[in-house]
Structure 1
Amino acid sequence: MESKERFYRQFQSEVVGIQADISSLGNISVESGERKAATDSILSRISKLSLEVADASDFIPAYDQRTYSATVKSLTEQLNAELTKLAPAKPRFQFKRTAKPASSASVSAAPDNRLLRGVPDKPVTKAESRPSATATAAISEVAGAARNYNEEVSSMTAGIRRPSFSSAREVILSGHTGLHIILPLSASHATAYGSLTDLVDCVVDMSAPTASTARGGGGAPFQSLMLRNIERSLILAGHVQGAVHITGLKNCIVVVAARQVRVHECDRVDVYLRCGSRPIIEDCRQMRFAPLPSAFADEGAGQGAEGSNDQWDQVDDFKWLRSDASPNWSVLPEAERQPETVWTDEVVGTPEYSVLDVLKAVGIERSGV
């Protein structure tokens, strides 16, 4: 009952917030791209809310589940209606009529295609013939979407891969083994959503583009992040404004600051965490939690001031309903936590440290070693 009530309060609060943001879209500038960024953020929050409803199926009755899902669907409909209302009106066209019948010479000539298509009420000026700033941005976005940064990571020959993601909206990395990947600050343009899947023996550092002040920041936190099917890897996930969904990780270390953390089907995973709500685990074994290292603390990334509302050690195990403590998670003993020098020296990405060196430094042994 406590879980149901807590979920209801959080759900209602988020719905009210999303509705307020939808209503305020008309007050946000279009030319600077701010309205598009605000729309992307709302879409991400609606998607996150849908995932949370699905995750709550274990303790929410089917009837309530349908009600929550219908509410999420109505949010999408409200957003679509608001965007339709705010869309600029399409230009009106007229067909021009000739004042007198065409001469025989005109009849034999090729037809005027402008008259067949219709022309605007007034002549198009040279300035109007150029694409608008919004159209140019849309063209650039399509071009960026065609660029496959995930494939580029595989083709890079350097020891440390640094994909820019400068013309992408999302960070998606999948299907890599034995790589050290560090996202530069330019990837802050792609933090609407993040996804890391099917990685083995990898080190992935996304802290710089998601930090606004720490480690030379200037970036933007992820709106939401998914980590799935990762083995023997170190994931420096950075900062997440919304929820992190962690599924199917084995023998990994995750370092992340987020508003919500949901962990499913993980085994032997250490999580260095700052979290604005109680972390949730389900179907997990040997999970250990520790506070976020100071090297990754970022008070400007949306998680609040240092130590404020940080519930990293208030873990709820949804598959352990007994009153005694769950055996599936524990607090990582201070003596076994990585010292700050490991985060500031070994894992920052210098040529003298290979992937193997970094994984060993944090206590992860690669396969075959």
Structure 2
Amino acid sequence: MAEQRILGEQFVAQFKERRSNIESLAESGKGTPGEYESQVTALRAELTASMDLLTGYNQRQLDTQLKALEQKVREAKASAKPQGKFSFKRMKPVAKPVVASSSSSTSAPATSSLVPSTSSGHTIFSLSNSCITFASLNSEPGADLLLSSLDHCLVNLIPASADLPPPTPVLGSIHARALRHTVLLLPVIPGSVFLEGCTECLVVVGCHQLRIHASENTTVLLQVNSVPIIEHCRGISVGEYPAVLRALVLQDSGTTFDSKHAEMQDFNWLQGGQSPNWNRISAESATSWDDRVRRLMQQAQGPIADTVLGL
């Protein structure tokens, strides 16, 4: 679909920029081998999570470029002296990926913003002042979810106990882009979550890995198994997954909560100390967030007023 093609093109451009930034930083000799290795690892995870957005050609091209970068990092790390700087020579330019197009693939405009993907995923896009619930999803359990261009929306995908027997995962991975004044109430999933271009949002989710890019003034209530990463962000507040939802998850699947949300890393803050671009929510504030989440979970599907979200 057109929306997925556009998002794929955006990811290709972002990937190219991220790869170039890693190369430039490594050439400058700043940072440590571990820092650059972690950035490349994060880029690999991001590419893996975004494969459904890409054409087969772009999948192969980006994978080839990243493998070359991974090899350069390994070689530079192996040859680095204990007290020396970590750097490597710039890679030769790789042919620019292009998005294949075909006149035969043109289809009629979608009549709904809740569009099942032609792959195993589900897409929700271009909505405002709406509440979307788990019951509106038509995809198979464990499918990936793409959210894009939502404004003043509530997306509540916490299933009732009877909707999905444990231990079946509700969703696989989640990609959210261009969200404004929007609340995401999401379950604990086995995959990754990638947020980009989120402004004045509340995101509640449990996942294996979280990456936030180019977002601001957004609160994330999080259960995460690996260290979450932000880049080009400001005003990010981080707290633990709400108690009201933890109780549901523990009751349904026996999930344990050993979260690393408080260990968030900012790729734009390489010096020591706490990054000014994110802060941890206090224990006192956590209670008020629990109350807000509990109230939002009662909202029925359909149109909503701006004041419902409380953002």
Sort the TM-score into its range (normalised by shorter chain): 0.5 to 0.7
* 253, 258, 279: which one aligns with 1:330: 279
TM-score, structure 1 as length reference: 0.52
Q: Is the 8 A contact 1:281 1:315 kept in 2?
A: yes
Alignment-derived partner of residue 297 in structure 2: 347
* 261, 277, 282: which one aligns with 2:210: 261
Please say which structure displays the higher CA radius of gyration.
1
Once the two structures are superposed, what CA deviation does each residue of 1:85-134 show, in whole Å capped at 9, x if it has no partner? xxxxxxxxxxxxxxxxxxxxxxxxxxxxxxxxxxxxxxxxxxxxxxxxxx
Alignment-derived partner of residue 183 in structure 1: 134
Which has the higher mean CA deviation after the structures are superposed, 235-244 or 345-354?
345-354
Which has the higher mean CA deviation after the structures are superposed, 234-243 or 224-233?
234-243
Query: How much does 1:193 deviate?
Result: 1.1
TM-score, structure 2 as length reference: 0.61
Higher relative contact order (CA 8 A, sep 6+): 2
Q: Is the 8 A contact 1:239 1:258 kept in 2?
A: yes
* 154, 158, 177: which one aligns with 1:207: 158
Alignment-derived partner of residue 34 in structure 2: 2
Matches within 5 A, 1:267-346: 267-297=216-246, 298-299=249-250, 305-308=255-258, 310-337=259-286, 338-346=288-296
Aligned CA distance change for structure 1 residues 269 and 46 (closer, same or farther; 3 Å): closer
Alignment-derived partner of residue 72 in structure 2: 63
Q: Secondary structure at the match of 1:270?
A: strand
The one-letter code of the counterpart of 2:112 is E
The one-letter code of the counterpart of 2:135 is P
Q: Is the 8 A contact 2:144 2:174 kept in 1?
A: yes
Aligned CA distance change for structure 1 residues 316 and 349 (closer, same or farther; 3 Å): same
Alignment-derived partner of residue 85 in structure 2: none
The one-letter code of the counterpart of 1:152 is S
Q: Is the 8 A contact 2:174 2:194 kept in 1?
A: yes
The one-letter code of the counterpart of 2:111 is E
Aligned CA distance change for structure 1 residues 45 and 252 (closer, same or farther; 3 Å): closer
Q: Secondary structure at the match of 1:313?
A: helix
* 38, 47, 51: which one aligns with 2:51: 47
Query: How much does 1:171 deviate?
Result: 1.7
Q: Secondary structure at the match of 2:261?
A: coil
Q: Is the 8 A contact 1:261 1:275 kept in 2?
A: yes
Alignment-derived partner of residue 247 in structure 1: 196
Q: In angstroms, what is the RMSD of aligned CA positions? A: 4.2
Matches within 5 A, 1:93-242: 151-153=111-113, 169-184=120-135, 187=138, 189=140, 191-208=142-159, 217-218=164-165, 220-242=169-191
In structure 2, how many angstroms separate the alpha carbons of the residues matched to 1:187 and 1:352? 17
Once the two structures are superposed, what CA deviation does each residue of 1:203-227 show, in whole Å capped at 9, x if it has no partner? 1111218xxx6x8643523221101
Runs of at least 5 residues in structure 1 that lack an aligned partner in the other structure: 15-42, 67-145, 154-162, 365-369
Q: Secondary structure at the match of 1:184?
A: helix
In structure 2, how many angstroms separate the alpha carbons of the residues matched to 1:45 and 1:233? 22
Q: How many residues align?
A: 232
Query: How much does 1:331 deviate?
Result: 0.3
The one-letter code of the counterpart of 1:63 is K
